[in-house]
Amino acid sequence: MLPPGLQAERTVLAWRRTLPAVCLCVAAFVRAALVHPHVAHVVAVAGACVAAVSVVAGAVTRHRRYRRRADDPCPLGHLIPAAVSLAVLATAGAALAALA
């Protein structure tokens, strides 16, 4: 059994680790869009930006909830994870279309 608050702290740290990775993806897609202009690159940039904003929202939400009460077991809800998933799917589809 984990001590109270440990799982919430690990979740906050996971959201913080995810954000730099998403920002690097945004930078890579922006560079690709500037070097090889293609509609798919623009869609990939937009999808990665939506993913980045969603990850920031998730990180801020979890951080505030953790600071308020470390043993809060409530999940984030469905909106933020759904937005991240859809943005990643759109980004991956656009990136694959740009490679073809």
47-72 residue pLDDT tens: 888 888 888 888 888 778 777 776 66
pTM above threshold 0.75 = no
Domain extents in the chain: 6-99
Quick one: three-class SS letters along the chain?
CCCCCHHHHHHHHHHHHHHHHHHHHHHHHHHHHHHCCCHHHHHHHHHHHHHHHHHHHHHHHHHHHHHHCCCCCCCCCCHHHHHHHHHHHHHHHHHHHHHC
pLDDT tier, 2 (very low <50, low <70, confident <90, very high otherwise): low
